[in-house]
Amino acid sequence: MSEDIISKLKENVIQGRKTEDDEGIEEDLTGPGVIELTQQALDANIPANQIIMDGLTSGMEVVGEKFSTKEYYIPDMLASADAVGAAMDLLKPHLEKSGVAGKGKFAIVTVKGDIHDIGKNIVAILLKGAGYDVYDLGIDIPTEKIVEYVKNEKPDYLGLSALLTTTMVVMGDVIEALKSAGIRDSVKVLVGGAAVSEEYAKEIGADFYCLDGFDAVKKLDALQAA
């Protein structure tokens, strides 16, 4: 029975069915969605970490593959990620109760002068679904506010997003400001966005360049496993 619930959960993640009322990619799929199946798994005393690894994460890995091969588009991927995020909200108190540690606190922001947020939002949803505590600071955020947040809230990771070549330079300003405040070494900095590259990330002293949300999850998980 447990394997059946987890199998259905994974399939519904792939189909992007948050609840039983959602159609999913394949319109003939019916029955409980991700939220209902997650609750069923908890009711069946399946460990929360098994629900995450074998159901949610395993499903999102398939979604990531389909997205990379262009079988899935952004709305498809977002539907799956949103469903997983809702399931993680349901699982969080059970994880805390069982003593399973979260993967860390991740703050994400679009830098000053840039109001684009689609990429940032996708990264935030995927990271939340992967088990990170995500704090979205918003768009067009001044450097001093970002530094103040890092100083006071002490996130493990800071994601900086910029779409434009004119605003990506602010990422370098943020890193320099973190150095000036003496807190650069307290946080891993990830950068991404249409104008950003691996070379630019190295140039400004970022810890990681992320091509997209799936790449961010992969790099952070690899860092934790090291």
Domain of 153: which CATH number?
Answer: 3.40.50.280
- Exposed e or buried b for every residue in 8-42, given b needs 16+ CB within 10 A? bbbbbbbbbbbeeebebbeeebeebbbbbbbebbb
Domain check: are 114 and 215 in the same one? yes
The parent domain of residue 53 ranges over 2-98
Model pLDDT, residue 217 = 87
Model pLDDT, residue 98 = 65
Domain check: are 6 and 59 in the same one? yes
The residue written with tokens 């019916």 in the block is 30
Domain check: are 109 and 85 in the same one? no
Q: Which of 67, 98, 129 is the last residue of a domain?
A: 98
The dihedral formed by the CA atoms of 125, 126, 132 and 136, expressed in degrees to the nearest 10: -30
Domain check: are 83 and 125 in the same one? no
Do 156 and 104 touch, CB atoms closer than 8 A?
yes
Inter-CA distances, 114 with 68, 75, 200, Å = 26, 23, 18
CATH code assigned at 46: 1.10.1240.10
Do 188 and 95 touch, CB atoms closer than 8 A?
no
Domain check: are 128 and 202 in the same one? yes
Domain check: are 114 and 218 in the same one? yes
Distance CA 217, CA 77 (A): 14
How many domains does the structure of the chain reveal? Answer: 2
Distance CA 192, CA 77 (A): 18
Rg (CA), the chain: 18
Domain check: are 94 and 18 in the same one? yes
Domain check: are 147 and 189 in the same one? yes
Q: For each successive 10 residues of the chain (226 residues), what is the average pLDDT?
A: 90 94 83 96 91 89 88 89 88 73 88 89 83 92 98 97 93 98 98 94 97 88 83
Domain check: are 47 and 153 in the same one? no
Nearest to 195 by CA among 106, 114, 77: 114
Domain check: are 84 and 111 in the same one? no
Q: Which of 98, 120, 141 is the last residue of a domain?
A: 98
Distance CA 35, CA 153 (A): 31
Model pLDDT, residue 68 = 83
Model pLDDT, residue 57 = 85
Q: Which of 67, 83, 98 is the last residue of a domain?
A: 98
Domain check: are 90 and 109 in the same one? no
- pTM to 2 decimals? 0.75
Domain check: are 7 and 92 in the same one? yes
Classify residue 93 by burial, with Cβ atoms within 10 Å: 0-12, 13-18, 19+.
exposed
